[in-house]
């Protein structure tokens, strides 16, 4: 604590000094990101109609109604020529209750209560989310004959009236087609910008950052010229892409050092990421104790990387980030101090086992209390500028046996990650080596192509 009081004013000088350097880093020569999709034979995108339930009338009969209704963003009502039932489509809007939807569909609330009372399964109708769709089928007397709930493209819940007044329940689940995709790119501004340019979704970029979260500080260590390549799954339904599945294998080269990871489900059914030689990617500490995605989302080309390292004799690392950016516990532990002091502002100290402590200063908000147990990546506070701070930033300290250490340079002293047990090594290798070989094969021709076109200038280091 005494220590802290002395050192903090020096931070103020360091803040200003370092901006020009990061700025210079930004003004960069051109580099490029390369994106390839393999295996995926650009499937024809089907008409929007396929999103509607199969129980609808023949396509020719409904399409004008569908088109009109979609334009007006209103419910759809058509008469099924074969069954004589009216088919009404309603999309759940913000704040809608089930009664609102029944009312819009013109079905009486008596019908609704009868359906809700028909069984346990009907209770799920009470929990609707915006964007979900309901399909009502109503006979000539206004009696509900069936109701379908479309939670998403893959699941459809159906309630259909039997000969009496009871409803039968059926859950129809579809499987997405999964294809492997490959993307690669080079960092020229930030992981989010260049990952996006290479064709990775935000979710996949977050996944990549989490996989390497103990090895790379994605807020501070990323440099222009870093490269990444990813094999992940893409999900298709009826030939239309509906989302991304998990990363299967991934490479990140940071400042010349290459990290590889591969996804593996062990014999207990637990899925995790490992190095090619079977060490878990999940370690006792993560390197970036702030939500750096939030930093990137405030991306400003005039002030690239609004994050900086400070100079000695500063006892910690500073992460400049907008006020309110979530601050994470770097590892599992116990909050040993949480309070306010004039130099530190709002602060939280976390003890991890006997040897390690992490400290988080200048918070705008503390979200944990003394004595509380926390998990790695749990949000413990928000970035602020309380105490001796010129602007919003997190001052982060890492202590080993009471001494300040740089978490980047004491990796070997940190607790070892779990490894695949030798009894399971053969299984691990049989499953992961084909993927790693595939990743390597993909990387090779791309590099060759890159130099052939002479566009790799500046990426040699
Ligand atoms: Zn600091």
**Span from the CA of 396 to the centroid of ligand 1 (angstroms):** 7
Specify the range with the lowest mean pLDDT, choosing from 99-108, 298-307, 368-377: 298-307
Q: How far, in Å, from the CA of 88 to the mean position of ligand 1?
A: 61
pLDDT for res 314: 66
225 C-alpha to center of ligand 1: Å?
A: 28
Q: What is the per-residue pLDDT for 54?
A: 29
* Mean pLDDT, range 178-196, rounded to an integer: 93
Quote the ligand 1 centre to 302 CA distance (angstroms): 23
Distance 170 CA to ligand 1 centre (A): 59
> How many angstroms is it from 317 CA to the middle of ligand 1?
6
Of residues 181 and 190, the one with the higher pLDDT is: 181
- Residues 212-221: pLDDT tens digits? 999 999 888 8
Q: How far is the CA of 296 from the centre of ligand 1 (A)?
A: 20
Give the E-state strand segments of 55-214 in sequence order. 76-79, 86-91, 133-138, 144-150, 155-161, 167-173, 177-186
Going across the sheet that includes 240-254, the strands are 35-36, 177-186, 227-237, 240-254, 257-265, 271-274
Cα–ligand 1 centroid distance for 222 (angstroms): 20
Span from the CA of 11 to the centroid of ligand 1 (angstroms): 5
The reported pLDDT for the residue numbered 51 is 30
Q: What is the mean pLDDT of residues 382-405?
A: 92
Residue 415 CA to ligand 1 center (angstroms) comes to 25
Model confidence band, residue 107 (pLDDT cutoffs 50, 70, 90): very high
The CA 417 to ligand 1 mean position distance, Å, reads 29
- CA dist., res. 3 & res. 259, Å (int): 36
State whether residue 330 is helix, strand or coil: coil
Tell me how crowded residue 231 is: count the other CB atoms within 10 A of its CB. 22
d(CA 430, ligand 1 centre) in Å: 47
Distance 279 CA to ligand 1 centre (A): 33
Angle among Cα 252, 246, 171 to the nearest 5 degrees reads 175
Cα separation, 254 vs 424, in Å, equals: 30
pLDDT of residue 47 exceeding 60, the answer is: no
Strand partners, 180: 233
CA distance 12 to 46: 58
316 CA from centroid of ligand 1 (Å):
5
Interatomic CA distance for residues 299 and 321, integer angstroms: 11
Angle between helices 109-116 and 98-105 (to 10 degrees): 130
Q: How far is the CA of 15 from the centre of ligand 1 (A)?
A: 9
Name the burial class of residue 20, with classes exposed (0-12), middle (13-18) and buried (19+) by CB atoms within 10 angstroms of its CB.
exposed
Is residue 43 pLDDT above 60, yes or no?
Answer: no
Least confident of 75-79, 84-88, 139-143, 289-293: 75-79
CA 292 to centroid of ligand 1, rounded, Å: 17
- Tell me the average pLDDT across 312-341: 89
Q: What is the band of 445 on the pLDDT scale with cuts at 50, 70, 90?
A: low
Q: How far apart are CA 461 and CA 455, in angstroms?
A: 15
What is the C-alpha separation between 409 and 287, in angstroms, rounded? Answer: 11
Centroid of ligand 1 to alpha carbon of 55 (angstroms)? 63
Rounded Cα distance between 382 and 363, Å, is 5
Residue 3 C-alpha to ligand 1 middle, in angstroms?
12
Ligand 1 centroid to 155 CA: how many Å? Answer: 50
Kindly state the DSSP code that residue 252 receives in the 8-state scheme.
E
388 CA to middle of ligand 1, Å? 9
CA of 306 to the centre of ligand 1 (A): 15
Separation of CA 129 and ligand 1 centre (Å): 43
For residue range 269-297, list pLDDT tens digits in order: 999 999 999 999 999 999 999 998 766 43
Q: If you measure from the C-alpha of residue 21 to the centroid of ligand 1, how many angstroms do you get, rounded to a whole number? A: 17
Higher pLDDT, 25 or 307: 307
332 with 374: CB under 8 angstroms? yes
The mean pLDDT value of the chain amounts to: 79
Lowest mean pLDDT among 151-165, 191-205, 241-255, 369-383: 151-165
Domains and CATH numbers, the chain: 1-30+285-419 (2.70.70.10), 48-173 (3.10.450.350)
- Please give the pLDDT value at position 221: 85
Alpha helices (H) along 130-242 = 191-197, 202-211
């Amino acid at each position: 604590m005494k220590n802290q009081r002395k050192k903090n004013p020096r931070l103020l000088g360091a803040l200003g000094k370092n901006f020009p350097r990061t700025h210079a880093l930004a003004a960069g020569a051109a580099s490029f990101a390369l994106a390839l999709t393999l295996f995926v034979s650009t499937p024809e995108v089907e008409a929007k109609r396929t999103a509607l339930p199969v129980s609808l009338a023949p396509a020719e009969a409904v399409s004008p109604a569908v088109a009109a209704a979609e334009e007006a963003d209103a419910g759809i009502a058509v008469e099924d020529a074969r069954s004589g039932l009216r088919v009404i489509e309603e999309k759940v809007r913000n704040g809608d209750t089930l009664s609102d939807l029944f009312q819009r569909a013109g079905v009486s609330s008596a019908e609704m209560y009868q359906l809700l009372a028909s069984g346990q399964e009907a209770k799920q109708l009470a929990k609707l989310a915006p964007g979900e769709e309901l399909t009502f089928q109503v006979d000539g007397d206004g009696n509900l004959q069936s109701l379908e709930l479309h939670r998403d493209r893959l699941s459809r819940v159906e309630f259909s009236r039997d000969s009496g007044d009871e409803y039968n329940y059926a859950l129809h689940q579809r499987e997405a087609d999964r294809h492997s995709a490959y993307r690669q790119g080079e960092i020229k501004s930030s992981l989010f910008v260049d990952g996006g340019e290479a064709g990775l979704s935000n979710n996949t970029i977050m996944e990549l950052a989490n996989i390497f979260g103990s090895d790379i500080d994605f807020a501070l260590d990323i440099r222009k010229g870093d490269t990444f390549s990813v094999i992940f799954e893409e999900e298709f339904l009826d030939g239309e892409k509906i989302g991304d599945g998990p990363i299967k294998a991934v490479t990140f080269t940071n400042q010349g050092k290459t990290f590889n990871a591969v996804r593996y489900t062990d014999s207990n059914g637990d899925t995790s990421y490992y190095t090619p030689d079977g060490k878990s990617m999940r370690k006792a500490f993560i390197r970036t104790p702030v939500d750096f995605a939030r930093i990137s989302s405030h991306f400003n080309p005039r002030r690239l990387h609004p994050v900086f390292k400070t100079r000695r004799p500063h006892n910690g690392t500073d992460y400049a980030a907008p006020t309110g950016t979530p601050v994470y516990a770097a590892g599992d532990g116990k909050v040993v101090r949480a309070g306010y002091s004039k130099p530190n502002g709002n602060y939280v100290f976390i003890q991890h086992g006997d040897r390690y402590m992490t400290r988080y200063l200048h918070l705008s908000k503390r979200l944990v209390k003394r004595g509380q147990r926390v998990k790695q990546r749990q949000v413990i506070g928000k970035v602020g500028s309380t105490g001796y701070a010129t602007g919003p930033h997190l001052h982060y300290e890492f202590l080993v046996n009471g001494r300040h250490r740089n978490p980047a340079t004491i990796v070997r002293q940190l607790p070892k990650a779990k490894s695949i047990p030798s009894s399971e090594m053969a299984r691990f290798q049989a499953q992961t080596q084909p993927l790693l070989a595939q990743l390597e094969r993909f990387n090779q021709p791309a590099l060759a192509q890159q130099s052939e076109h002479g566009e790799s200038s500046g990426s040699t280091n």
